[in-house]
Each structure stands twice: as C-alpha cells, then as structure tokens.
Structure 1
Amino acid sequence: VVDRNLQRPVRKGTSDIEPTRPSTSDASPRVVDRNLQRPHTSNITPISVTKRPVRPRTSDVTSPRPLLCKRGQQAFHQEPESSPRCNNIKECLDQRMAVHIKELEQRAIRALGKRQDEKRMKEKHEELEERRQRLHRLREHSDFLMKQMEDKEIRRKAEAAERESVVTASTHSTPRKPRKAGVSEHRRDLLTSLEKEDCASQLTEELAQDQLLAGRPRPAVLLGRLKAREELRDCLHTQIEVKRKQRQEQERERLEMEVSLLQQESHFMELECSMQKAAKREEQESLKEAWSQECKLRDVHRRIEALEDGRVPKAASRLVHV
C-alpha cells in the first residue's frame, strides 16, 4: 500500500504514526505537526477514545450545583441560562429568603414588644411603690401634726383652767355686786380678745359715769373690782417670778452638774497620769536592776577569764545610775 500524500510504502500491522527522524541539514530540532500527518489507512480499527465528562464549574451563576442524589452524565451537563429549572430554583430561593426575612422581622417585633412591656410594667411598679411611700409619709406627717395639735389643745386647756382658778381665787375675797346704771354683772377676764373688748366697753361706761358723777365718792363695788384687778396682777407677777426662779434653779443645777463632770474628768486624768508615771518609774527601776545584774555578771566572767589566763583580775566596774 502506498501513501499517496507521502509516496512511501507502509507495512501492514504497523501504526499510522511514525517516529520522526533527525535531520542533518537543520541544526534546530524538528517539530512534528500531528495535523499534517497522514490519515489512518490501516485495516486495524483504532481504539475509540471517549472524552471524560467534565463537571461544570459551580462558580457560574447560571449553572446550579448538581444534586448529590443524581448519578451519571446528566448531572454534570451544563444547563442553559433560560432553563425552567434554573428559574424555579431562583424563585424558590427568593421566596424562601423573603419568608425568612419576614420571620426575622416578626421575631424582632415580638422581642421589642416584650421588652417594652417589661419596661412599662417595671415603671408602673416603681410608680406604685413611690406613690405608696409618699402616702405613708403623708399619713405619718398628718398623725404627727394631729398629735401636736392635741397636745397643744391639752396644754391650752390646762393653762386656761389654771388662769380660771387664779381669777376665781382672787375674786372670792371681794364678792361682786350688781352695779347701778346697767353695768353687766358677769365677771371680766382680761386674757382673751373678746373679754378685752367687753372690759374696754365697761371701762368707757364707767368713765362716762364718773364724768356724770363728778365730785361724788366712788361706790364700794368699783373699789372692790379695782382691788381684785390689783390682786390678779400681783398673782400674775408672783407666777412669773416663781417661773423665773425655777428656770434659774434649773440653770444652776445644770451648771453644777457640768462642773462636777469636769471635776471628775480632771480627777480621772490625774489618776491616769499618775498611773502612767508609776508604770514608767517601775520600768526604769526594772531596767536599772537588770543593767546592774548584767554588769555584775560581766565582771564575774572577766575575772574568771583572767584567772584562767593567769592574769590578775581588774577591779569591778562602777555602776552608773542614771
């Protein structure tokens, strides 16, 4: 068999590819182009070489990753961009993403609502507690004021009763009699405003009567009333004097107590100082005694050492007492 393109005989059973022969005319190595080689004319059928299926790249957006459950060649074929499968997957992913985002938003809204409810309940509880404490303080304050008012009323009644007893005691000595010319028969009390006004009106009436009865002697009733007034004034002065003496006595007792306390403190301080001095003196005596004993022991040791060395021992050192 003769190859028409190359005009060279070929043996049967040999391969259609011949090894290249080195050329002596050209120094550079010869590159064989496989495309220009002769076609296969042998009777031996060539081995069919099939290409290995290539897995499509997953980075491509248009070609989704093949499912793991699929086996075979169709799982690795690249799908076109406009396939319905790709569009369905995109839509499913978008829908699922939208549902997930909506669920997250609802969860966040519920969490915020729960937090706001807790904050509102806490503020309401604090407000109720503050209001309860305020009411408790107001109630205590009102009770304290009521107690003060009751104590003040009791003191006022006691003072009024005491004044009444003083006035009645002073008026018993000079019994009152009805006056002429329409003078009121009730007793006057000079300690209240209304009774002061009554007293002033009666005094003006008496002054008018005195002007009418000029040159005539005063009646005995008027003289007795003036005497009762003087007695009341004297009684009030005596009460004031007694209270002043009581205050002075209390002040004197307080001063005496303070003086006694100061004297006791000074006595305690003197005792403490004397005890400290005695302790210091005892300590000094003990130190002196210990020092003297130490000196004696030292002299004894020196004498013993001198006798052992064959020397004459020195005289004992004189103790210096400070």
Structure 2
Amino acid sequence: MDSIAESSGTRGPTNIEFAPWYELSMPYRDVAPSTEQHREDVPRTSDQLRTAAERAYCLGDLTSARELAAAAGIGYREVNDEWGAADVLALRGAIARCAGDWSAAVGHYREALSMFTIVDDLSSAARVYRSLAETLFMAGDFDEAAEVMYEGLTVLPDDPILLSGLGYSLWYAGHEADALAHLNRALAVDPDNRAALLARGQIHADLGRPRLALADLDRLRARVDDEAHRRADLKSARGISLIALGRTAEGEAELADALLLVPHRARTQRRVAEARLREGDTERARIALHAAVTSPQPLPSAHADRARRLLRRMSSAPV
C-alpha cells in the first residue's frame, strides 16, 4: 500500500519517488488503525491530545492533527515529560512530512532525535533516524540523508532498513561503489531484502556487470504486485544486462515492457540510450538521452548530469 505521504498533495519536490526501502503509513511508530470518526469527550490531557492527533493524522485531517499535536507538546513540556515531548515531536514530523513541508518535518525529527538521545531511548531514536533520513531522501537531499543514516548506524549497526536506505542515498548521490558496500551489508543481514536486491542489481547493470546484475534481478521477477516504476526499473536493468550478454531479443522485449509500464521514466530512457549505443545507432541513442534529461520523472541530479554530459558529447544541440 502506498504511504499516505506519497498520496497527499505536497509543497516540496514532487519528482522524487517515495523512499523505496521503508514504507509505512505511519512514520516513526505504528498506531492503532482508525477508519471512522470516534465520538469521545474533548481531549484534555497531553496523552489524550496526542492520541487524538494520531487519529486525525490517520484520517487525513492534517490541520486538526497539527493543532492537537502542538497542544500535546505544550502539555508535555509543562509537566517536564521529556519522553512525551519527544514522542509528539516525532508525530509532528510525520504530519509535516505528509503535508509535504519537508523543512518543518526535518526540524521536528531532529528535535525529537535530540530529546530521545537525552532520555536514553535509543530504540525510539533509531526509528526517528529512519524517518528523518527518509524525509531528506524524499526532499532530494541524498547526501544529507546518507549522513543521517551513517549516524543511525552507530546506534543500530546492522539495521537492514538503514543499510539499504544508505545504499539508495549513496547511489542517488552518484557514489556507486560506496552504495554497493552498504547494500552488500544489508543483504548479509537480510538476504531477501527486495529493496536492496533491486538497487544492487540496477547498479551492477548500469556499471556494465550483467551477470552480477541478473543474479540479483532474476530473484525479483516472480513478484508482480510491486509499484509500476519499480517493475519498470527491474525490466530496464534486465534489458540492458541481457543485451550485454548477447540475448538481444530478450533484452529488447524487457526494455519495451518497461516503456509500456511507465512511458516517460527517465531511468528507462537512459537505459534505452545505452542499448542503442551498443548497436551503433547514435541518433536513436541521442533521442532517448534527450527524453531522459527532459522527462517529467527525472533522474537524480547526479545521474542526470552524467546523461547531459554524454548528450553534449554526442550532439551540439542545446539541452
């Protein structure tokens, strides 16, 4: 199921897919599901206000959730309940993130993280590290997301979510070798980590290591309930790997399927360009590269810059 953060309107960047390694409808910690309004007395205590804020959040009433959580935070601080104040700050971060207010979300998460550290609740701190890093990733700040996950790994060294998230952040920031090291660690802890397998397989495919790529990607083929963009990435990465191994017809079929799944996906277009270059068709490669760098579903900036540099070498036409 898509995260509530993915389906809501946003005021931040809208070109970054939801962080693929960590999808929960309620960032930081689970809450009891609520599908309808509950009649109850007006909340008065901080705990009641916090519970009411969670319920409003789950129902999508972000305005009420924001107001109730703020009131709960005031109450916790008045009685010097530092853990309660930290807990509600993490909730306020989730609410801001859902609303697409990345700056406010980051601020709330950072303050919650500091307070959980002060009260020595490392378990809660680790969960906030995940949510903070995910928010930075969604906002497109991949280097900062990686730094947060490095910090989180000092608390939970073998956390597969932090390890795979660090791998994705480093990959999107253009640091493929470092990304592979952490994805390898994630898979050593959790060999069936689908997010890590997909990332590692794609990196190997893009680096021209088709056998290593297929070893990961072929383990993911049976599942058909993944999001369309992930299935497209799987197919396009398999496509260029199969073509590199001389299995051209199979590879071209995978690329065609990827284009049908998400027609304007920049990552697919970049891989189509690679396939066209391999067969010596520079004009069609140039067209695919141009589609990649002008796509409404763009590549991460580090990857887009590489595509633009290649395009400039191939063509004098302005990008």
Query: Normalization by structure 2: what TM-score?
Result: 0.16
Q: Which has the higher contact order (CA 8 A, sep 6+)?
A: 2
Structure with higher Rg: it is 1
Query: Normalization by structure 1: what TM-score?
Result: 0.16
Structure (1 or 2) with the greater helix fraction:
2
